[in-house]
Amino acid sequence: MKIAIMGSGGDAPGMNPAIKRFVEFCFEVGDEPYFIYGGLEGLIDGKIQKASYEDVAGIIHRGGAIIGSSRSKRWYEKRYRDQAYENLQKNGIEAIVVLGGDGSFRALDIFKKEHDVNFIGIPTTIDNDIYGTSLCLGVDTALNTIRDAIDRIRDTASTFSRAFVIETMGRECGYLAAVSAITCGAEVCVIPEVEFNIDVATQILRKELERGRTYLIAIVAEGTKRTAEIAKWCEETLGMETRVTVLGHIQRGGNPTVQDRLLGFGYVVEAIEALHRGEERRVVVYNDGVFSTLPIDDVVQKNYRIPEEILSLLNFID
């Protein structure tokens, strides 16, 4: 079978380990691996190349993706999807493994319904907002990057007796903020999934400040759009000198952790095996240490929820 791999949407650490294992495993089972460079835009423009061992040598430790990624407005015009199909036909490619999120899966699903090209999705997003899987590719590395940043910021917060408001990525999902707040001992966490009880937080923190608390760490998920508000609250209501740090795209880069390398390997192997089983329109998921697949409709039509055991550990929530 001729199988291509591509990235789509935002990048995440662990993509290169997945790409490396994709090439290796294809050769192990007798498939022909291909790269689609530049995501959906590259597929439209025919940037397709047969892959070799040499292409993936020495990439396992690198962040990002050697094959690139993209978002594409052109994809939603049928003539460009037809052009993409012609490019696949020229190379004899029968299936695509796509590293991306729910938007990427929807894009390939439109394609599959129009053309005879199967695909399997691998949840690849630091947001960890894909239904049906406990951990997306890239999340562990992002969490470790955030942890390192918070630990460093705590040093200066404690030295200068300041409040620091730290904004994490995650779109509309507060997973990164919640887990980071718990594991880094933040005093405040504001996420979209739970209403932040600012009155209770004010009462508790004022008492702690009276008893000698000298600094404060607040983690705010970008999807709440409340970073400036929380900073103002720390400054004006709690009376603390306050600084804001937006971590931004450093959360997407960096050397993939051992966890993300292993996830990349496992996700790709399950994807290729699913194609050999004849599965269509599926997404690989990871739960309780086991890889399996779910129908694309289940994944894109249902919303991911942060586990209650995580939410229960947060401070100042109803």
Catalytic residues: 127
In contact, 217 and 157? CB cutoff 8 Å: yes
Q: Are 248 and 1 in contact (CB under 8 A)?
A: no
For 154-200, strand residue ranges (E) read: 163-168, 188-190
Tally of CB atoms within 10 A around 171: 16
3-state secondary structure of 237: helix
In whole angstroms, what separates CA 21 from the centre of its chain? 19
Which 3 state secondary structure label does DSSP give 59? coil
Instruction: List the structure tokens of 177.
Output: 């903020």
Can you tell me whether residue 54 is helix, strand or coil?
Answer: helix
How far apart are alpha carbons 192 and 9 in whole angstroms?
22
Q: How far apart are CA 159 and CA 174, in angstroms?
A: 29
Beta-carbon count within 10 A of 65 CB: 24
214 membership: H or E segment, kind and range: none
Query: In the sheet that 163-168 helps form, which strands lie side by side, from edge to edge?
Result: 188-190, 216-221, 163-168, 242-246
